[in-house]
Amino acid sequence: MSKIDPMILRVRDVVKNYGGLCAVAGASLDIPRRTTIALVGPNGCGKTSLLKTIFGLQRADEGSIYFEGESIDELQPNEVFDRGIVHAFQFPRLFNQMSVLDNMLIAARGNRGDRFAGSLFSRKKWREQEETMLQKATDTLKLMDLTRLTNEPAGSLSGGQKKLLEISRAIMAEPKLLLLDEPAAGVNPVLAKKIFEKIEMFRHGGMSLLIIEHRMELVMEFANWVYVMDRGKIVLEGRPAEVAASPLFYEIYIGGEPGGTDICVS
């Protein structure tokens, strides 16, 4: 029996190439339990790619990933989900023709009616289960101020609401580790702050977070630890304040070669 790994996630020397382009060039990071980790870096430095690799949406070319001490390199996203990791997409991928509520209920775990036989032969059981799930869904939607849209098709929501629903849905899945890809991108600063506060509220359940975020003020306020990525590698890590004060960080993020940060693969 191995003792419980203090790190919920360990990423070791992950490499991911697209064709000839190297998106992740040997990145390693650790996520302790119950912490919020921010992953920052210029556009196209491989952050999203790393997140996708962790979640199994793409295979790493090299390196290994351990979740709660077990290797998850070879797993499909649905299996990674079953282990307890949930990934919220950068650009919300909702089930557009389905209601907001259905989008939430899809994410619930352990529904007997999810199985073919169960859907037909355990009707009573799954109806009971759905009542509990419904309660949780409505509570979550309420916190996210989406209650009044419960029965609307998800496709009819505004951009900001979609973002909120994407995150609500992820929370509905009760993750042990939540991967958030720019939860505040494309929304106004007020809403961005609000989104982070909401996420923080759900953290009391003991979930860990890995967040890709550009806005340093949010990172400073909410993250416990920051990893800085540049050209596919982790180049710097530390407490938010330390990182923000580091000259290297400045060079990568703000300075660098003129225009050098934009011309990259993402």
List of residues contacting other proteins (CB under 8 A)? 55, 57, 76-78, 81-82, 86-87, 89, 93-99, 101-102, 105-107, 109, 111-116, 118-120, 123, 126-127, 130-131, 134-135, 138, 147-148, 150-151, 169, 173
Nearest approach, Cβ of 42 to other proteins (angstroms)? Answer: 23
- Rounded Cα distance between 204 and 38, Å, is 18
CB-side neighbour CA atoms (13 Å) of 221 = 14
Task: Give whichever of 2 and 78 is closer to other proteins, judged by the CB atom.
Answer: 78
CB atoms within 10 A of CB 266: 12
Nearest CB to other proteins, comparing residues 145 and 200: 145
Task: For residue 243, give the 3-state DSSP assignment.
Answer: helix
Closest distance to other proteins from the beta carbon of 61 (Å) = 18
Least distance (Å) from other proteins to the CB of residue 150? 7
Residue 113 beta carbon to other proteins: minimum distance, rounded to whole angstroms = 3
Of 202, 207, 212, 224, which Cα lies nearest the Cα of 181?
212
| Residue 131, φ and ψ in degrees, nearest 5 | -60, -45
- In this complex, which beta carbon is closest to other proteins, that of residue 71 or of residue 119? 119
**Can you tell me whether residue 22 is helix, strand or coil?**
strand
Q: Which is nearer to other proteins, 155 or 189 (CB)?
A: 155
Provide CB contacts within 8 A for 213, sequence distance 6+: 38, 39, 40, 182, 183, 184, 219, 223
Based on CB atoms, which residue is closest to other proteins, 174 or 237? 174
The minimum distance between CB 158 and other proteins, in angstroms, equals 18
Residue 21 to residues 24, 57, 165, 265: CA-CA distances in angstroms?
9, 18, 34, 8
